Structure 1
């Protein structure tokens, strides 16, 4: 394959992976926040 095409494909895949990782971090952070809010109902300290 053309080296320039290979490079563009590689950049595109890296960009998609970064976007997926950022989305995953966002979801995990939201889950963590929800879990800490639920815990606060039982009188434990809230993590803010």
Structure 2
């Protein structure tokens, strides 16, 4: 395998890994936002009930 081909393979694999990392990061951000929204919504409604009573 020539050095140019090896270099191109490295560049290609690096691009694939960066894409996978970006996708993984996006999924984790969405999961964290959903969790924060669900937990925060319950707390706000609970406190709202206490303060209104």
Q: So what's the TM-score if we normalise by structure 1? A: 0.85
Give, in angstroms, the shift of residue 43 of structure 1. Answer: 1.3
Greater relative contact order, per chain length (Cα 8 Å cut-off, separation 6+): 1
Give, in angstroms, the shift of residue 41 of structure 1. Answer: 2.4
Deviations 1:6-31 (Å, cap 9, x if unpaired)? 00000000000000000000000000
Give, in angstroms, the shift of residue 42 of structure 1. Answer: 1.6
> What stretches of structure 2 of length at least 5 have no aligned partner?
45-53
- Secondary structure at the residue paired with 2:27? helix
> 2:28, 2:20 → 1: CA distance?
12
Structure 1 stretches (4+) deviating beyond 3 angstroms?
none
Aligned to 1:7: 7
Q: CA RMSD in A?
A: 1.0
Matches for 1:17-32 after TM superposition, within 5 Å: 17-32=17-32
